[in-house]
Structures are given as C-alpha cells and as structure tokens.
C-alpha cells in the first residue's frame, strides 16, 4: 500500500485537514502504529492514545484541538477504515489463477469461466464449479458437489460428495463440509452405523472458519442459511438447520437436528442440544449450554442456559453461598438460644 | 434410488398394504418428505405427522386406519429404514478405485489386494495397507503405519508414522492420528520437549470424526478399543486408553493417561482430566468436567462432575440462591426483633 | 533401539548396579513394561510397582534393597529418561529429505540449505524457507510466508500468506496459521466482512498442536512469543498477543485482542474473553471462563473465573445449597413458632 492522505480521502469521501501529500504505507491500531501508518478514532475517549500514537494520519469524525498529524474527517470512521482495509486487501491478495498442471480435475467435472484450481487441489466427477470459483492447494471437492459462482475454498478444506454451496461462500483452510453425521444404533452390544445419505446445503455468502465441521444429514439436508458466518473449530451436527445472517463464534457445538432461526448470535464455546429450536434474533451467550428451546429475541446464558438477567443474579448468588452457610449457622445458634430461654 | 414399494418390502422382509408398484426415489423425514420419498413411523405419536406428510410410502409397525399411502409393515421400522439407507448409500457411494497416477506410494510400502489410493494421497515407506483399504485424496499414511483390511481414510486425514489401525476403521476428513503428545518439562524457565516415541493403536471398526486428534503415546501406546465411535473435533491425549464399543460425542476432551472402560458414553463437550479411570458402562453427561474417577455403571454430570441425580438437585438449588439470600435476610431481621423483645 | 545398560548409563551419565551387559530394546511405564524395556522411578512411592514390573532395567535415584534388575543411578531419573527418549526418537524419526518431484515449489520462493519439501507439499511465490526447514506432504506455505531455520511443518498443516514463523517451530498436522480473523460489521441486516489484512507472527521454538487455528490480525499482528507451546484444537483469535514460554492446553479458546503475558499456563478447555489482559506467570485452570483481566501470578478458575481458592469454596458451597434450603425452611418454621409464643 502506498497512497497519499489526499488519495485516501478520495477513496472514503472525507475532508483533509493538514498535509494531504503525506504518504501512507499501512494501517494499524493507535498503540501499534509506526510512521507511515493510518489509524482511526471512533470515540473521543481514544483521543489521549491518538496524542501518543506514532501514526502519520488519522480517520476521525472531527479534528481534535492541536492534532499533530493530518486528519481525514468522515461521518463513520470505522466504516471508512474498513474501506481502506478493502483497498489493502485487494492489493495484497493473490488468489491462484487457472487450473494448475498438478491439480486433479476429473474429466466429468464442469468448470465455469475463470475457475482456479491450484496445485494439488482435487475436483471429482460430476462436480460443478460456478464462474470464478477459487480452489486453493489441497482443497477437495467430492463427486457431484456444487459450488456457486465466486466461492473460495482455502487450502486443505474438504467439500464431500453431493454437498451444495451457494455463491460467494468462503470456506477456510481445514474446514470439512459433509462428513458423515454421528449416527449409530445399539445392536447386540455393538454400535451399528446408520448410513448418512443426506447432504449439506450452504446458502449464498456463508463463511465457514478453519477446522469447522458441518456434518451431512442422515437423510435430507443439513442447512446453513444465506449470509451466516461461522468461526473456527465449530461443530455442526447432522440435520441441523441454521437460518440466515447468524453469527456463530469459535468452538461452538450444535448437536443434531437443532433448528436455529435467522439473525441468531451464538457466543464462543456455547453448546446447543439436539432437536431444540432457537428463535429468530435470539442470543446465546458465550459458554452457555442450551438444553431447552429459546424464544425469538431472548438472550440466554449459563448451563443449563436460562434468561440472561436471571443468570447474572444466580452467578452473583453463587459466590455468596459460603457467606450464606455462615449466616445460617449463626441463625441456628441464635434460635437455639431463644428456644432455650423460652423453655427454660 | 429407484425402487418400487414391493421391491423395498422384499429388501426389508415386510408386507405391503396398498399399491406395491408405487415408485420410491428417496428417503426423508415425515415433515421434509416430498412425493417419491419413503418415510418411517416408529411410534404412534407420529401418526398425525404421517397424515400431513407428502411422502409416497411408509415403513410402519401396523397400518393405521385410513392410511392414504402404501405401507410396508415390519417388526422394527427404524431398523428396516436403516436397511433402506444402506441400499441408498451403496448406490450413491463411489469410493476411489486403484492407485491414481498422482498419488505417491513409496516403493517400500506394502499394499494388499484392491487397495485404492486417490489423487494426491501419500503412502510412506514401510507402510502396510490391508486388502480393500481406501485412501481418499490428500490422505497421508506415514512411514511404517499399518491399516487393517477395509479401512477407509477420507480426504486430508493424517495417520502418522508407525500407528496401527484395525480392520474396517473409518477415519473422517481432517482427522489426525498420532501427532505428538503434549509433553514438555520445565527447564530453566523454558519448556523442554519430551520426545513422544509411542504410537496410537485403534482396534477394528473404530470410527474417528473429522478434525478429531488422537495423540501418540509418550512411550507405549494410546489405545482406542474395537467398535468405539468418536465424533468430530474430539481431543484424545497421549497414553489415553479407551475401551471397546464406547461412543464419544463431539468436542470432547480427554487428557493424557486417562483410562476409559468398555461401553462408556461421553456426551458432547465433556472433559475428562488426565490419569482418571472411567469404569465400564459409565455415562459422562454432556458438558461435564470429570475430575475424579467414575465407578462402573455410574452417570455423572456437572463440573466438577458428581452423581447425576445429585447434580440435578444442585442445579435446581443454584437457581434458588437469590431467593435464599432474601429469606435469610428476613430471618435475621425477625431474630433481631425477637432478641430485642427478650432483652427489652 | 538396542543398547546395553552400560551404554545407556554412558548416555545419561549414570552408575550401573547389576549386569551392565543387559540389552535394552525399548522404554515403557512400570506397569506396561515387557522384558527388554527400560523404566524409570522418580519417587519412592512407585517402588512397589517396580517390584512387580517386567522391565529389564531401571533409571532411579538410589538402588532399592533387593532390586532384582540392573539399575542405572542418576540424580534426576525423569530427565535421564527424557534423554533416552531423545535417543529413541532420533533413531525412529525419518523426516523427508530433499524436494520431492511431486511437490510444488514456486520458482519465486527462496529455499535455504537442506530444505525438505515432501510429496504434494506446496510453497508459493515469495515464500522464504530457512535452512533445514522440513515440510511434510500436503503442507502449504502461502505467498510471502517466512519460516525460520529448522522449522518443521507436519502433513496437511497450512501457513497462509505473509505469516512469519521463527526458528525451530513445530507445526503439527492439520494446524492452520493465518486464516482470516472473524470480523464482520452489521450493515442493513447483513454481515459485511471486515478484510483481515494483518498476519500471524510466531517466535522461535513455538509448537502448535494439530487442528489448532491461529487467526491473522485484522491489521497488524497476531503474536505468539518464543518458546510457547500450544496443544491441539486450540482457537487463537485475531490480534491476540501471547507472551513467551506459555503452555496452552487442548481445546482452549482465546478471543480476539486478548493479551497474555509470559510464562502463563492455561488449562484444557478454558476460554479467555477478548481484549482482556492475563499477567505474567498467571495460571488459568482447566475449563475456566475468564471474563475479567487477571493480575500477574494469580490463579483463577470457574466461570466467571475468580481467585482459585475462592472458587473452591464456591464449588463446595454449591453442593450444599439443597441442604441450605432445608435448614432455612426449618429456621422459618421455628421462628414462626417463637413469634407465635411471643404474641400468644
């Protein structure tokens, strides 16, 4: 990246205060910034950090008094900053291009225009890749799988047979879409495998984090709705249905056949029991263990997860149990004395 | 899949009521079914769903009154359904066949009859693959590793050197068998690595989920007994010994040198401390954190995990602490009044 | 391994008691040992196990009375045993050598002396691998990434573009370094991706477990300090900074921008909220959920994590709540009786 303050102001539609010819070579946080970096300030409480920052320019809502570096004034500094990040990203990103000679593309696969299949990536028979799909090295697309236009699969991620991904999905390195669901039936002291003949269907614009596993349905479909974003190391069991535009943080576990609405937020390391329903716009707090269905719009926390406000009272109460034990013991002693006086 | 109701009845040994020539093209749940699908009903409480289902035929224990679609009557509808799933699965599954030209098989490796090594899979020196072993693309079998007949390794799973897998094991995509155990000794303010020279041994019919990691022993063996099924994203530490026919749900963690008996069930996201013993037929509930050994046949839950029945009482009690605080405060006030009257 | 007791004594600087010509072919635990195995005894309480052990020799601090097998006496038997493990390990380990013909090394990559790139491994343009770097099969090194001398990357691990690894790092199979951080901004009912333009920087001697994911910074760096060891299936969010010589056990989650000091220990399945600080030498107990910063040297446990000693009292108290409920009910009854007597 190498842009003047004036050029960045043009990019984000801002007004320059100070030297617009200052050259910016990177972006950073207020504390980490070095000369050449652009920073942003969203709230006035960060102004003291700005004064000490080594940055060369700032994106900000209003120029503070005595601002020592060039400032670009914009309505929403964080969104403007995201635009600058987009610029950096476009500049830095070099997705693979074309089908590499060491890739294995089965002749029965169908590839759209401008598909990239990097060294060592594999596309099996009957798979269909839409225009502009990018497969990084070691990515695997199983027989009959379908990837919508613009979908990116990072190194060593696996899409198993017949699964269907929408357009512009991002599947991060090491993620696994469509492994067998965990289905076994007890049979004479052993576990007999229940064949998992279903698939996984991801809507458009779904992002799946590294080493996240979304299991195929026993039969029918495991579904993740359009626009939903899933972080790393998340487990999504067979036949789960997740709605649209949800965010699911890292190391969450969602057991088989759970149904999650639209715009649901699930915090890190939370767990959701199988066959439950989580209503639209609900929030599951980090580390919550949900064992009963959650109504739309509710926030739950704790294990077993309950209404968040009640859980806070329970957590406060929990720390006061040792004190309660002492107070009850004291009460018992006093009562005994009073009883003795009465009977005496 | 394309079978008539009569053909399916023949497959599962059932009796047809209604039009046996109806063509079935898929399997599904009662609610998701479309025309052409076969469904099953295990209990009479699902009969109302059957009435509304769009399915074209049903596997059931007895024909309900007014059944609108062809029915196949069998003793155990769920097992019969699993048989039909097996049929679908056999039809849909196309495991790789033969050794692909882009696979790397070291000349010092020994391959049994009908072994498949797909594009980009790697088999190192001295590895031994039994008859019918299937390695999907990107699967890695390290030097001297042994895979019993019929074992399947899905894409990008890793079996490190010298590990031993039984017959008919299933290793899902991204699983890692035989990484170094986590062993370090403090040495002058740093952590010195303790070499991990042991191996992992899996019995026959073991299934290992995606991105599950089973570490090799520091010395000796980390063992998973025959018939045990492990779900996705499970961590099994070095020198752990798991018995036969256990089921271990997703995102469980089992720390080093824990010993788990036969027929043990471990619920999702549970954790088991190192060096403990979990007796045969014990059950560890989901999200339990086990810090003391568990006797055979016991069920434990909570953190620290205790007897399940006691834990339920503790969980109920926990929610009543805020109420207890109020009641104790009230008691203290009343006692003070009584004491005053006495002394007054 | 095939060494006499005398040769092993030479290796570890110990004194032989008994037959120094005894041949040792393996190492094992006291209970698992078979003839030919060497064992070690660190504390006298293990002497009864030694008497029953089938081992052929023992590393020990002092020869016990009536010791039936040859003994090698050393000051610190566990460290001496680690030295023997090192010997076994060196003997058993066969890292790949040279650049395999089926590896893909971009002509724009720079390789130091004695670099190994195994079958199917990929090194992209502008990547720089120091002397003696070893890439196992399926390992991926993205464009412009840098790996210090002696670093080992096991099969199918992924180092994404521009990330920087120090010398002698060990990246286990399936680990992912430098995936996008989980950053999205709400924008008209959808989630807009915040480009993740930063990198991951690992210091020297960092070890990263299998399927562990360390996300790249939104901008700037996600950092893991020299000598820190991370176990399997750990999630490290974007912009996290971990100090030197920490140990982080399996299935831990560390959310974005948390700052962890030096010599910190984090127990299995613990979680650390974003933007917190964990001071030097602090300890986070297994399964703790840390939601407030932790001062240097402190030990915290529970969820929300509090001082470990207090948490123990809380946990004991928690089990006594059902009893407290009964005692308070009894008190209320007695008070009511006393009040009646007074008023009566």
**CA A202 distance to own-chain centroid:** 15
Please answer yes or no on whether A232 and C341 come within 8 Å at the CB atom.
no
CATH numeric code, C3-92: 3.40.1390.10
pLDDT above 70: percentage of residues in chain B: 100
Closest residue of chain A to B138, computed from CA coordinates: A138
Name the residue with tokens 């009859």.
B113
**What is residue C143's predicted lDDT score, i.e. its pLDDT?**
98
Q: Which helix (H) or strand (E) holds B253?
A: strand B253-254
Catalytic entry in B17, B238, B263, B311: B238
User: What residue segments make up the domains of chain C, in order of their start?
Assistant: 3-92, 104-309, 318-343
Q: Residue B51 has which token pair?
A: 């009435």
Instruction: Find chain A residues with C-beta within 8 A of C317's C-beta.
Output: 318, 321-322, 324-325
Chains that touch B (3 or more CB pairs under 8 A): A, C
pLDDT at C314 over 80: yes
Candidates B180, B181, B151, B179; CA nearest to B165 is: B151
Please answer yes or no on whether B174 and C324 come within 8 Å at the CB atom.
no
Distance from CA of C224 to the nearest CA of B (A): 15
What CATH class does A104-309 carry? mainly beta
Sign, CA dihedral A229-A235-A238-A240, equals negative
Instruction: Find chain B residues with C-beta within 8 A of A185's C-beta.
Output: 78-79, 82
> Residue ranges of chain A with pLDDT lower than 70?
344
Closest residue of chain C to B232, computed from CA coordinates: C233
Residue-wise pLDDT tens digits, B138-155: 999 999 999 999 999 999
Distance from CA of A28 to the nearest CA of C (A): 6
To test the contact with chain C by mutation, choose from B193, B269, B272 the residue with the greatest count of C C-beta atoms within 10 A, namely B193
What is the rounded distance in angstroms from the CA atom of residue B83 to the CA atom of residue B89? 10
Choose among C78, C86, C251: nearest Cβ to B235. C251
Please answer yes or no on whether A138 and C142 come within 8 Å at the CB atom.
no
Q: What's this model's pTM, rounded to 2 decimal places?
A: 0.95
Please give the ipTM for the structure prediction.
0.94
Instruction: Find chain C residues with C-beta within 8 A of A205's C-beta.
Output: 190
How are beta strands A229-230 and A190-193 bridged, if at all?
A: unpaired
Residue-wise pLDDT tens digits, B54-103: 999 999 999 998 899 999 999 999 889 989 999 989 988 999 999 999 99
Bridge partners (DSSP) listed for residue B170: B152, B207
Residue-wise pLDDT tens digits, C87-133: 989 988 999 999 999 999 999 999 999 999 999 999 999 999 999 99
Please answer yes or no on whether A172 and C182 come within 8 Å at the CB atom.
no
Catalytic entry in A17, A172, A238, A263: A238
Closest residue of chain C to B330, computed from CA coordinates: C332
Catalytic, B238? Answer: yes
What is the rounded distance in angstroms from the CA atom of residue C76 to the CA atom of residue A114? 63
Please answer yes or no on whether B268 and A251 come within 8 Å at the CB atom.
no
Instruction: Find chain B residues with C-beta within 8 A of C28's C-beta.
Output: 219-220
Instruction: Find chain C residues with C-beta within 8 A of B213's C-beta.
Output: 174, 209-211, 232-233, 250
Q: Residue B51's pLDDT band (boundaries 50, 70, 90)?
A: very high
**What is residue B294's predicted lDDT score, i.e. its pLDDT?**
98
**What is residue C148's predicted lDDT score, i.e. its pLDDT?**
98
**CA B221 distance to own-chain centroid:** 22
Distance from CA of C124 to the nearest CA of A (A): 10
A210, B337, C197, C211, C317 from C194: Cα distances, Å: 17, 63, 9, 24, 45
Q: Which helix (H) or strand (E) holds B315?
A: helix B308-319
> In sequence order, what DSSP letters do the residues of A207-263 get, joined into one string?
EE-TT-EEPPPSSSEEEE-TT-EE-TT-EE-TT-EE-SS-EE-TT-EE-TT-EE-SS
- In total, the C-beta contacts within 8 angstroms joining chain A to chain C are 184
With beta carbons less than 8 A apart as the criterion, state whether C314 and C296 touch.
Answer: no
Please answer yes or no on whether B162 and C92 come within 8 Å at the CB atom.
yes
């Amino acid at each position: 990246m190498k842009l003047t303050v004036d050029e960045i102001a043009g990019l984000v539609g801002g007004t320059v205060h100070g030297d617009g010819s200052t050259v910016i070579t990177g972006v950073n946080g207020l504390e980490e910034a070095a000369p050449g970096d652009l920073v942003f300030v969203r709230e006035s409480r960060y102004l003291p950090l700005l004064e000490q920052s080594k940055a060369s320019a700032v994106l900000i809502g209003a120029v503070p008094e005595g601002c020592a570096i060039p400032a670009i004034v914009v309505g929403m500094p964080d969104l403007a900053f995201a635009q600058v990040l987009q610029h950096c990203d476009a500049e830095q990103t070099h997705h693979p291009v074309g089908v590499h000679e060491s890739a294995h593309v089965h002749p029965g696969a169908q590839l759209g225009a401008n598909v990239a299949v990097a060294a060592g990536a594999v596309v099996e028979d009957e798979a269909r890749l839409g225009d502009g799909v990018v497969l990084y090295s070691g990515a695997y697309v199983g027989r009959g799988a379908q990837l919508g236009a613009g979908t990116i699969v990072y190194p060593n991620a696996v899409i198993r047979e017949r699964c269907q991904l929408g357009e512009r999905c991002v599947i991060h390195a090491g993620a696994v879409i469509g492994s067998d669901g965990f289905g076994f039936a007890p049979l004479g002291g052993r576990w007999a495998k229940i064949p998992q003949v279903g698939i996984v269907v991801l809507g458009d614009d779904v992002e799946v984090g590294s080493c996240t596993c979304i299991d195929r349905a026993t039969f029918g479909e495991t579904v993740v709705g359009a626009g939903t974003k899933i972080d790393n190391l998340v487990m999504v069991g067979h036949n789960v249905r997740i709605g649209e535009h949800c965010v699911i943080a890292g190391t969450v576990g969602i057991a088989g056949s759970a149904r999650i609405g639209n715009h649901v937020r699930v915090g890190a390391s939370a767990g959701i029991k199988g066959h439950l329903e989580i209503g639209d716009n609900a929030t599951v707090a980090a580390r919550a263990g949900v064992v009963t269905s959650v109504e739309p719009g509710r926030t739950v926390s704790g294990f077993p997860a309950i209404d968040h406000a009640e859980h806070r009272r329970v957590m406060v109460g929990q720390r006061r149990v040792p004190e309660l034990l002492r107070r009850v013991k004291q009460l018992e002693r006093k009562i005994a004395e009073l009883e003795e006086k009465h009977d005496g």
